Structure 1
Amino acid sequence: MSAVTLNNFSKSYGKMSVLSGIDLTINSGEFIALVGPSGCGKSTLLRMIAGLEEITGGNIEIGDRTVTDLAPKDRNIAMVFQSYALYPHLSVRSNMGFSLKLRKVATEKITSAINSASTMLGLDQLLERLPKALSGGQRQRVAMGRAIVRRPDVFLFDEPLSNLDAKLRVQMRSEIKSLHQDIKTTSIYVTHDQIEAMTMADRIVVMNKGNIEQAGAPLDIYDRPESKFVAGFIGSPAMNFFTAEYKPNGSDGFININDECTIPLPKLRTLQQGTVECGIRPEHLSLSKEKKTGHSIKVTVDVVEPTGLATIVYLSFGDQKICFYTSDRPDIGPGDTVYLQLSENKLHLFDVNTGKRLN
C-alpha cells in the first residue's frame, strides 16, 4: 500500500485551464471517490495520476517516489476503465495473466496470482471462457482481476459501473467495497454518481470547474456542506433551496421566509442583515394538513411520487419549489394545500453571492 500526494497539480490545454492548484493527499489504504458534474476535471485528474495525461504543473508522489516524469508502466498502478478493455480472443485466464506474461513473470507465479484473484472474485468456473460468453458484471470482474494480479501500489477506477444496469451496479458496488476491505490497496474511484461515492468511499472529494470544493468523510459532507454547490450535488433527492431574509435580534437572529414563517436562529458572525440562501434536505421536513407552528410554510402539492419504500412529494409556494421525502404514505394529491414544518436545527444557510456556507 502507498499514499498518493498531489502538490499544486494543474492541467491546461493552451489558454484553457482544466485543473488548477490541486493539493490532495490520499492516505495509504484509503478509498477515495472523486465526484462532480461532467467537465469538472475528475477523469482528467485520474488520467494524470496514471500518467496518461501530461501534467502542466505540480508533481505527484506515490509512496516515497516522485513519479511526475515516469511512464505509466513504471508507476506501479492498475486502472479499471469504464469499458472493460478485454482481449476478445483470449480466455479469462489469459486476460488476467497477460500483463504478468509481458513482464516475464514465472509461469507458476502467474498461475498462483490468477487462482488467488479468481477465487476472490468468484471467477473460478469461468477461467476458460472467452469474454463474449460473459455477462457485463462478469466482464467487469475480469477487468478487476487483471488489475489485482499485478499487485499495484494504487488502483484507479474510471466510472467502472456506468455501463451496467441499475441492479447490477448495486451488486458490483458492494463487491468492490468488499474487495477493498480485503486487499486494502489505495484506491481512487471516479464517478458522477454521488450514491456510489457515499456508499463506497472512506472520503469524498467533490470537484467543480477544476477545483476541489470540499473533501471529507461522506456523512460529514452530507451533514455539513461547505457550499451551495456541494449541498445540491450530494444527496438524492437533492437539497431544497429558497431565499429568505435574515435579521439580527439582540444576541440572536431570525430568518423570515415569508409573512407566515419566521424561524429563530443563532446570530450569524459573517452577516449582519440581508438576503440568504436557505437549504434543507427533503427528509428533514415534516408535513401536516393544518398549521401547527410559526415554523410552517403553506404550500401547494404539485406532484406525488409513491415508490413503495418512500413517497416523494413536489410542492410550491409562490414561485419557489420544494421537495418533501417521507417513508410514510401521506393521503394527499395534486392541488391540495398543506403545511411544511421546518426545523432550525436542520437548516443550512449560504451566502447568496459566493454560495459559501454562513457560520
Structure 2
Amino acid sequence: MSPDHLPAAPPPDSAEPREVAPGILWLRRPMPLPLGHVNLWLLEDGAGFCAIDAGGDYPGHRPLWEEAFAGLLRDRPITRILVTHCHPDHAGLAGWLAARSGAPVLMSRGESARYRHMAAPRPAEATEATRDFYARCGLSAVQVAAMLGRRARFQALLTPLPEQVVPVAAGEVLRIGARRWRVHTGGGHAPEQVMLESLDDAVFIAADQVLPAITPHIGADPERRGQDPLALYLASLRDLRAARDDVLVLPSHGLPWHGLHRRLAAIAAHHAGRLDRLLGAGDAITAMQALPLLFRRDLGEAALGFAVTEAMAHLLHLEAQGRMRRLDDALWRWQPVQKS
C-alpha cells in the first residue's frame, strides 16, 4: 500500500530551495542514476542552517552549492552538516562542504567508519574476496570484472572527511534551531543510518531507510560475509513504529508524504513476499538464479551488482532462520529445508 503523497509539495528545481515545513528548506540535486535525484534539507539553526546531507561529487553539485553560498547562504551560513549515511549521494561532498563552509560534520560512528573505509585504497586481499564473492554468486568472469571496476567509480564521488567528525547516536536529542530532534539509527541499507524525529511537531527525516515508492537497497557486503543485513533492516522497521504515525516524512528520494506506519508495514510485507518466492523455488538456486524471482523487470548491467547483493541478503536471511541451507561448492546454492 502506497503512502499518501502531498499534492501541495512538488519538488523544487535544482537551484531554488522550497520550504516544506516551517524552517525546513528542501533542496533537490540531480544524479546521473536511475533515481535521478537526491533530496537535501536545510534546517533553520539560529542565524544559519544545519544541512542534512551534502550530495555527492557529481557534475553540477559543487556549482549548485556555490550558487547557494552566493545567495541564500550569504548571510545565513551553514552551521553544521549532519550526514545521514555513508553512501556517495549523501556523504560524498561532506568533506568539501565542511572545508568550504567551516562547519563541523556530524555522523554516527558506524557511518563515518564505513565512509573512511570506502574512501581508502583497497588491499589486494579485499579485491580477491570480492572477486570470489561474485563468482560464487554465479556471475561470469566478465561480469565479475565489471563489479570490481565499480569501486574506482564509487570513490571518485567521495571527498575526504574532516579528521574530526562529531558522533551522534541513537536516542540522543539534538537541538537544531527551535526544534528538538530525537536521533534514530537503523542498519541494513547502511551500517548505522541516522534519521531524525522532531519532538516539537510532526516531522520525520527518514533518509533512505523508509522511501515512499521504492524500497532501499538491502545488500550483502562481499567483505562482511557473516552479516544478515535483512534482519537488521526489518528490526529497524519495527523500531520505527515508535515514531508518531502522523508525521510528515521527508525522504532522501521521492516526495514528502504521510502514512509512516502503513508504509513500514507495506515494506515488511514486500520483503516477506520475496522470501516466500525464494522458498518456492524448488531446486537449489544461486543468487543469480534468484534474480527473476525477486525482480519483475529486466536488469541492466548497471543494476546487476545491486540486484545480486540484494538476492544474497534474502538468501542469507533464510539461511540464518534455518529455512534454507547452503550447498557450498564452487557456487553457493541454496535449497529450502524440508520440515519434518
Q: TM-score, with normalisation over the residues of structure 2?
A: 0.31
**Which structure shows the higher helix fraction?**
2
Larger radius of gyration: 1
Q: Which structure has the highest strand share of the two?
A: 1
